[in-house]
Chains A and B, each alone.
Chain A
Amino acid sequence: MKTFNTNNDSDIFLAKWLEGELSDNELKNLVSEDDFSAYLKLRKGMDVSEKLDAPITDTFEKIQNKIEDRKQKVKPLYKNWSIGIAASIIALFGLFMFLDNDKVSIETGFGESRSIVLLDGSEVLLNSKSQITYNQDGWDKERTINLVGEAYFKVAKGEKFTVITDNGSVTVLGTQFNVNSTQDFFEVICYEGKVGVKTTEYDYVLLPADAVRKVNGYPSEVSKTSLNEPTWIDGESTFKSVPLRYVIIALEDQYNISFDTIDINDADVFTGSFPHNNLNIALKTVFETLNITYNEKENRNIKLGYKE
């Protein structure tokens, strides 16, 4: 701290203080308490009186600007409104577009099957690990469904009804049919009416009890079925001369398990069925007939092999 308490400076310290060269605390040490507060008040009073006497023209300009700003704001406000309206219209349109494109997607998990009634009263039974997507809007004009997996369709009479899969499409007018499109396995069975099947190579027309199947790029083949409806609807998967690979996929989808097929020939053909509610019976019915052993190595992973 500087000391101004010398005789030399005793007659100028207030000037120094007013100029800021001497701090308030330093002044406090030089004068009495009453004097100190009086000087503080004097300084403040001087500052304020200068400010109060300061010209008021600047303030008038500010007032004019504020009034002007407000006047001009009328237009921007309108602009903002129109932008807002435009934005909400766009947003609404966007929403409608979304609604327009309102794709319904229904998916089943392992071992789950679902029955879906479509807008026109058509029924879809979705087997496990399958998915359908369709466009809700304009359904009455265009009945198109995308399918991955297996589903049984009971189509109400009406416009063309199309099921699109990766392996081909199925077109009907009003009938009952089953479509199974699992990986590269594609099978359509007609239970009632007339079903048009279009694969990459051929077009087929299926009559009741007709089935068409295409496996892994082999030429598709037509066969007959004796059933009135797919058995999986009643909790049983039925196969007729199906390569074991697809039966295993069906088992996996149904029971949420995985198989180690390294030791077996999964191209063997299987004919038969397995229930959806009992894994042991399912494994027994599928693999015992083929002389294959099954051991649960880890949780939900079953190792397949041939009997010694």
Chain B
Amino acid sequence: MPKDNRNICHSKTFETIYNLYAKDIRRFLFFKTQNVDRAEDILQEVFIKLWDNCSKVDYDKVKSYTYTIANNMFLNEVKHQKVVQSFNKHNKKESTNESPEFILLEKEFMEKLQNTIARLPEKQREVFLLNRIEKKKYKEIAINLNISVKAVEKRMHQALVIMRKEIGNV
């Protein structure tokens, strides 16, 4: 049984490895690509490749292996994108892969943001999480908390003002 646990070709083990690293790799890929969808796509490719090579990969090195594939796949994608871009340039087409006001989200910023959310005052945090995580409308939150919509909006506004202060200059 312990042997099976370390065999990546075993679907249970494979799933465990996935659950262990997938989120981090997606995050890692996002900071590389700055694009959630692309990160998601590459993540899938990474684990398909891991499955293909399950018998060749040492269980103890699977983490570094997956990160290496992720990085290589990202680089391959960049290479491909460059080809596509130069092709588009060659054909004098407008490349529209990024919006003009492209905002780079650095790893540090994202960490800071999450810390800030965690450290919001209780009232603001409650409204913020209900709105952002539970996807509730201000009206629903107002009913839930038995306060006015205006009060909800005020707390949300304050949450943003606090976050903006915490984040500092960007």
Asked if A267 is at the interface (CB within 8 A of a chain B CB), the reply is no
- Contact B15–A60 (Cβ < 8 Å): yes
| A residues near B40, Cβ cutoff 8 Å | 59
- Contact B19–A35 (Cβ < 8 Å): no
Asked if B154 is at the interface (CB within 8 A of a chain A CB), the reply is yes
A12 to B155 alpha-carbon distance, docked (Å): 8
Q: Which of B22, B30, B169 contacts A48 (CB 8 A)?
A: B30
Q: Would you give the shortest CB distance from B167 to chain A, in whole angstroms? A: 6
Q: Which of A16, A52, A53 has the most chain B CB within a 10 Å cutoff? A: A52
| Contact residues of A between 45 and 66, Cβ < 8 Å to B | 45-46, 48-53, 56, 59-60, 62-63, 66
A60 to B12 alpha-carbon distance, docked (Å): 12
Binds A, one of B69-77, B84-92, B102-110: B102-110
Q: Which of A15, A35, A44 contacts B156 (CB 8 A)?
A: A15
| A residues near B155, Cβ cutoff 8 Å | 15
Beyond A38-B164, A38-B167, whether A19 also contacts B109 by CB under 8 A is no
- Contact A66–B113 (Cβ < 8 Å): no
Q: Which of A12, A42, A50 contacts B163 (CB 8 A)?
A: A42
Q: Which of B22, B114, B160 contacts A56 (CB 8 A)?
A: B22
Q: Would you give the shortest CB distance from B30 to chain A, in whole angstroms? A: 6
- Contact A42–B160 (Cβ < 8 Å): yes
Q: Would you give the shortest CB distance from A54 to chain B, in whole angstroms? A: 9
| B residues near A62, Cβ cutoff 8 Å | 44
Residue of chain B at shortest CB distance from A37: B170
- Contact B105–A41 (Cβ < 8 Å): yes
- Contact A52–B27 (Cβ < 8 Å): yes
Asked if B150 is at the interface (CB within 8 A of a chain A CB), the reply is yes
Q: Which of A16, A39, A51 contacts B164 (CB 8 A)?
A: A39
- Contact B18–A11 (Cβ < 8 Å): no
- Contact B157–A41 (Cβ < 8 Å): no
Q: Which of A16, A46, A63 contacts B113 (CB 8 A)?
A: A46
- Contact A40–B101 (Cβ < 8 Å): yes
- Contact A56–B105 (Cβ < 8 Å): no
Asked if A34 is at the interface (CB within 8 A of a chain B CB), the reply is yes
| A residues near B169, Cβ cutoff 8 Å | 34, 38
A50 to B163 alpha-carbon distance, docked (Å): 16
- Contact B157–A14 (Cβ < 8 Å): yes
Q: Would you give the shortest CB distance from B152 to chain A, in whole angstroms? A: 7
Asked if B23 is at the interface (CB within 8 A of a chain A CB), the reply is yes
A167 to B44 alpha-carbon distance, docked (Å): 78
By size class, the interface of chain B is 35 or more
- Contact A59–B44 (Cβ < 8 Å): yes
Q: Which 9 A-B pairs have the closest CB atoms?
A: A15-B156, A12-B153, A15-B153, A14-B160, A14-B157, A56-B22, A15-B157, A51-B36, A45-B113
24 contacts between A and B (CB under 8 A): A12-B153, A12-B154, A13-B157, A16-B153, A18-B156, A18-B160, A37-B170, A38-B164, A39-B160, A40-B103, A41-B105, A42-B163, A45-B109, A52-B27, A56-B19, A56-B26, A59-B22, A59-B26, A59-B40, A59-B43, A59-B44, A60-B22, A63-B48, A66-B48
Beyond A50-B133, A56-B19, A66-B48, whether A45 also contacts B164 by CB under 8 A is no
- Contact A42–B48 (Cβ < 8 Å): no
A11 to B158 alpha-carbon distance, docked (Å): 8
By size class, the interface of chain A is 20 to 34
| Contact residues of B between 1 and 20, Cβ < 8 Å to A | 15, 18-19
| B residues near A11, Cβ cutoff 8 Å | 154, 157-158
Asked if A67 is at the interface (CB within 8 A of a chain B CB), the reply is yes
| A residues near B150, Cβ cutoff 8 Å | 12
- Contact B152–A48 (Cβ < 8 Å): no
Q: Would you give the shortest CB distance from B98 to chain A, in whole angstroms? A: 13
Q: Annotate B47-79 by CB proximity to A: 1 below 8 A, 0 otherwise.
A: 110010000000000000000000000000000
Q: Which of B30, B153, B158, B164 contacts A52 (CB 8 A)?
A: B30
Residue of chain B at shortest CB distance from A46: B132
| A residues near B156, Cβ cutoff 8 Å | 12, 14-15, 18
Beyond A11-B154, A16-B153, A52-B27, whether A41 also contacts B36 by CB under 8 A is no
| B residues near A39, Cβ cutoff 8 Å | 160, 164
Beyond A12-B154, A15-B138, whether A48 also contacts B160 by CB under 8 A is no
- Contact B36–A52 (Cβ < 8 Å): yes
A46 to B113 alpha-carbon distance, docked (Å): 8
Q: Annotate A12-28 by CB proximity to B: 1 below 8 A, 0 otherwise.
A: 11111011000000000
